[in-house]
Amino acid sequence: MKNKHYDVIVVGLGSMGSAALYHLAKSGLKVLGIEQFSISHDQGSHHGETRIIRFAYDEGMHYVDMALAARELWQDLERQSGEKIYHPIGGIYIADPEHGRFVDNPIKVAQTYKFEHEIIRGDQINARFPAFNLPKNFHAFYEPASGYLLSELGVETHVKQAEEYGAEVISNAGVRAINPGPQTEVITDKHAYTADKVIVCAGAWSSKLMPELSKAITISRNVVCWFKPDSSTEIFNPDKMPIFILSDENGAAYGFPDCTGGGVKIGIHDEFSPTEIDTVNRTVSDEDKTRIRRYADKYFNLAGAKIIDSSVCLYSMTPDKDFIIGAHPKHDNIFIAAGFSGHGYKFSPVIGQILKNLAVGADVEFDLSPFSPARFMD
């Protein structure tokens, strides 16, 4: 029997793949999306309820325009689906005096782009947002347009809306092989399919599926914990506490107010623990919890708060922490989106749109040269 043929197959329907599927289906293409687990799950990089969205991006100016475009697309998706995914509750970047550059750099970006922002001190933050308990000499930058995205809901909504546009979706079916050719073959345990173009968005599994990416991506195990305040729970509500990123001598922590009633979420951003996808330790240890509790105790009115939940999530780090987006260096009808280095979720709708444009040969309005797959692939 002949394999079923598509214009485009998307492998992996997490953050990026779900968005790519949506934009492809919306363009009227015949598309198939294949996901190894359920649509949204807790094994990859998009689980744990929330992701930060921010705009004064100091990781590289090329990200700022993409963040602004992503916000428009999140809002389009909300209008179309009726779901509320983007919550602009405000965001605060905080640093101790020795790590001021982590606040000064975003301030420069905000000034360049004329983004609404405020520069405030630790004691002013404590007065305005009583969840915080910061030393007076810490300084901070407040961006009102920052906030959080509901991350599993974003993935589910992209897939559901793609299906409304006619996309076919297969879940709980891992792709075992991709055989390049003019009609690329995509093989799962049970079936084979062909497509003119294939887009691979396999997250932390990217180099397992495409070993030629092994020099490009290191997987890192990252832990987050949810704290339940003992009292004054209202000061941790999203209308009273912004999302935050805090830099001190131990690195950078980030977190969220109690967005959904499940507690205040705190994680450590720059603690990279390299691991392998098949052997990653998915159990949160007491040591993991102690490292995160240090931030809760020191900088918030959360001393003694119980950790009511915790989770292991995976970053796919590239050597330069820039993303990998573009055509496979050896197969120009296969496109890769991977290596989102712990900061990709907010961009997912714009990356989905870029992938659609690459697949149909349309112009892309962003400079993709910093993201070239060829920089790490032979």
Ligand X SMILES: Cc1cc2nc3c(=O)[nH]c(=O)nc-3n(C[C@H](O)[C@H](O)[C@H](O)COP(=O)(O)OP(=O)(O)OC[C@H]3O[C@@H](n4cnc5c(N)ncnc54)[C@H](O)[C@@H]3O)c2cc1C
Binding site for ligand X (CB under 6 A): 11-17, 34-37, 44-46, 48, 51-52, 174-175, 201-203, 205, 209, 222, 224, 267, 313-315, 338, 340, 342-346
For 179, the enclosing helix (H) or strand (E) is strand 175-179
Which of the residues 218, 313, 318, 356 is marked catalytic? 313
Smallest gap from Cβ 249 to ligand X, in A, equals 22
Shortest distance, CB of residue 53 to ligand X, whole angstroms? 7
CB of 114 to ligand X, least distance (A): 23
Q: What is the DSSP letter of 98?
A: G
Taking the CB of residue 369, how many other CB atoms lie within 10 A of it? Answer: 10
Active site (annotated) includes residue 51? yes
Q: Is 112 a catalytic residue?
A: no
Which residues face 248 on adjacent strands? Answer: 251
Shortest distance in whole angstroms from residue 9 CB to ligand X? 10
Torsion over CA of 130, 132, 133 and 138, rounded to 10 degrees? -120
Q: Can you read off the two tokens belonging to residue 211?
A: 């070993």
- Phi (first) and psi of residue 150, to 5 degrees: -85, 110
Q: Which two tokens stand for residue 92?
A: 């605060």
Task: State in angstroms the smallest separation of the CB of 296 from ligand X.
Answer: 16
Q: Which residue is nearest to ligand X (CB)?
A: 14
Instruction: Classify 50 in phi/psi space as left (phi over 0), alpha (psi -120 to 50) or beta.
Output: beta
Residues 45/324, Cβ–Cβ less than 8 Å: no
340 residue type, one letter: F
For residue 168 the two structure tokens come to 């076919």
Kindly name the residue from 269, 289, 331, 375 that is annotated as catalytic: 269
Is 313 one of the annotated active-site residues of the chain? yes
Closest separation in Å from C-beta 312 to ligand X: 8
Told to judge if 114 belongs to the known catalytic residues of this protein, a careful annotator would answer no
Q: Which of 265, 293, 328, 356 is labelled catalytic?
A: 265
Q: Which is nearer to ligand X, 15 or 157 (CB)?
A: 15
Place of tokens 């392998």: 276
Distance CA 307, CA 225 (A): 6
Least gap, CB of 313 to ligand X (angstroms): 3
- Closest to ligand X by CB, 122 vs 349, is 349
- Based on CB atoms, which residue is closest to ligand X, 15 or 353? 15
What does the longest C-alpha to C-alpha distance in the chain come to? 72
Catalytic-role residue among 46, 50, 157, 225: 50
Structure tokens at 214: 């092994």
The identity of residue 92, as a single letter, is I
Q: Which is nearer to ligand X, 126 or 222 (CB)?
A: 222
Catalytic residue (one of 23, 26, 51, 293): 51
Of the pair 222, 247, the CB lying nearest ligand X is at: 222
| Smallest distance, ligand X to C-beta of residue 345, A | 3
Q: Which C-beta is closer to ligand X: that of 98 or that of 189?
A: 189
Catalytic residue among 23, 26, 46, 47: 47
Q: Which is nearer to ligand X, 35 or 58 (CB)?
A: 35
Smaller CB separation from ligand X, 126 or 338: 338
**CB 109, CB 177: distance < 8 Å:** no
Among 54, 117, 346, 356, the active-site one is 346
> Which tokens is 305 given?
């708060």
Q: How far apart are CA 334 and CA 182, in angstroms?
A: 10
Q: Residue 185 and residue 4: Cα distance in Å, rounded?
A: 10
Catalytic residue at 265?
yes
Encoding tokens for residue 208? 């397992």
Which of 14, 39, 32 lies closest to 168 in space, CA to CA? Answer: 32
- In the three-class reduction of DSSP (H, G, I as helix; E, B as strand; rest coil), residue 317 is classed as strand
Determine contact, residues 223/267, Cβ cutoff 8 Å: yes
The residues carrying an active-site annotation are 47, 50-51, 265, 269, 313, 346
